[in-house]
Amino acid sequence: MTHREQYALVPADAAQFRRLWSAHVDALDHHLSTDMWALAALTVVLIAYPIARYVIPTVLQTIVSVVPDVVRTVLNLI
């Protein structure tokens, strides 16, 4: 049996998939250096910052500007 055959998944075996995923996460936790974790955290911050700074406020502003129009329309129908 090769190494890959040991981890061959049966599509319906969710428990085996969870065990495999848990083993992969544990391996990452034990084998990644602090520098790699810092690099991963920096990557997440660099991706999340523009989303939090520009995209979320724009979406909220759009929603807030649309809601009064909808309320006005509903009130006019009543």
Cα(61)–Cα(59) distance, rounded to whole angstroms? 5
pTM passes above 0.95: no
SS (H, E, C) 11-78: CCCHHHHHHHHHHHHHHHHHHCCHHHHHHHHHHHHHHHHHHHHHHHHHHHHHHHHHHHHHHHHHHHHC
Task: Read off the tokens for 38.
Answer: 């810092």
Q: Which tens digits make up the pLDDT trace of 5-18?
A: 666 655 557 777 78
Q: Which tens digits make up the pLDDT trace of 21-73?
A: 788 878 777 887 888 889 989 999 999 999 999 998 998 888 878 777 777 78
How would residue 3 be classed by pLDDT, with cut points 50, 70 and 90? low
